[in-house]
Structure 1
């Protein structure tokens, strides 16, 4: 891999109970487990950060694919959901759902763009074969 950019972040405290911040200071947030996992929910958590990062990265890949194919995409959105679950054999696992909305585009064309974006998105490539990632195209 030819590295084009490196992001750096540091977690302090006790991981899910602490802070995380980037080396350039643009991100500095309190980390707290969600209420569903016994926490106060008064901060963010790794799953929210992962959902936000995956959604933004996938949206960028979608825009890249559209430009490459010379397709006009306006007012598109990508929503990310990260599911945190326990495995039967022990340990924990993540699963991701990405919901793509491209207004005023036929469903089949939007799905083809989303499928192409899933092939070039760095998050998709990093998770492929490791966790379940579902890409859904919605018309609303």
Structure 2
């Protein structure tokens, strides 16, 4: 696989799940805290929340891009939204694993068109590609 990045994000974390994360070129500076369900105080952001936000935003971009590559796809409406739910828990093979559920809202599109756009986005989204075969991802049009 050959990829020639046109942009590279750089983030730094200190302290693990109970620390701080900063993103170099954005001014983003987050307090990190493990969620209550993982024994933390939940008084900060956690990696699963950040992954969910990134995946949701990227998935919208992938659907939008897909429509520029395939004229038979319906255009993505401007009020599109994706609710990404990222779960973490023990993995059967040891350690931890993730689950992802993407709830896609495409107002104004009929169910068939919305499904086609969602499937096209899932095929090209770099987050979807990165986790394919490793993370259970479900998509639903709502």
- Both proteins in one fold, TM over 0.5: yes
Instruction: Spell out structure 1 runs of 4+ moving beyond 6 A.
Output: none
2:99 corresponds to: 95
Unaligned runs of 5+ in 2: none
1:72 corresponds to: 75
**Aligned partners of 2:34 and 2:119: how far apart in 1?**
33
**Aligned partners of 2:75 and 2:100: how far apart in 1?**
27
Kindly report the root-mean-square deviation, in angstroms, between the aligned alpha carbons of the 2 structures: 1.3
In the TM superposition, residue 26 of structure 1 has moved relative to its aligned partner by 2.3
Q: Is residue 111 of structure 2 the alignment partner of residue 107 of structure 1?
A: yes
SS in 1 for 2:43: coil
Q: Is residue 13 of structure 2 the alignment partner of residue 11 of structure 1?
A: yes
**Aligned partners of 2:26 and 2:119: how far apart in 1?**
34
**Aligned partners of 2:93 and 2:60: how far apart in 1?**
34
Q: Residues 136 and 88 of structure 1: is their aligned pair in 2 closer, same or farther, counting only changes over 3 Å?
A: same
1:27 corresponds to: 28
**Aligned partners of 2:91 and 2:135: how far apart in 1?**
12
Contact persistence 2:104–2:118 (CA under 8 A): yes
2:136 corresponds to: 132
2:121 corresponds to: 117
Q: Please report the TM-score for the alignment, with normalisation by the length of structure 1.
A: 0.92
| Superimposed CA distance per residue, residues 98-129 of structure 1 (whole angstroms, 9 cap, x where no aligned partner) | 11011121111101100000011010111111
Unaligned runs of 5+ in 1: none
